[in-house]
Amino acid sequence: MSTATSSESFVHPALFYRGTEQYTAGTVPFLLEGLAAGEAVAVAVPGPNLELIKAEMGASAAKVKFLDMTQAGRNPGRIIPGVLRAFADFHPPPG
């Protein structure tokens, strides 16, 4: 996965995986790095994957905004303004 540089405001990397172990190995460290860097962190994936990530993150999961895409993504035209932009607007960058 790639991360945002100082000139980028949003990055949407892709993760290719086989099975739950690869899925959590590819997502959880990325999320924990964001939290450690003081970033606002949101996860928007289908519900069963949310549960996998929450279980793997332990207590750190309380610091993450979790969105079930089976609900939030029902209207694809609302994903950017209603999910991604709403989260970004609520968590403006410092300074």
- DSSP, residue by residue, 33-65: HHHHTT---EEEE-HHHHHHHHHHHGGGGGGSE
The answer to whether residue 3 is domain-embedded is no
- The range of the structural domain enclosing residue 74 comes to 19-90
pTM of the predicted model over 0.85:
no
State the number of CA atoms in the 13 A half-sphere of 85 facing the CB: 6
Query: Is 13 domain-assigned?
Result: no
69 is a domain residue: yes
**Residue 78: inside a domain:** yes
Q: Cα-Cα-Cα-Cα dihedral of 24, 30, 35, 38, to 10°?
A: -170
Residue 36 within any structural domain of the chain: yes
Domains held by the chain: number: 1
Nearest to 17 by CA among 59, 45, 57, 37: 45
36-84 confidence digits (pLDDT tens): 999 999 998 999 999 999 999 999 999 999 999 888 777 777 777 777 7
pLDDT at 57: 96
Q: What pLDDT does residue 6 have? A: 54
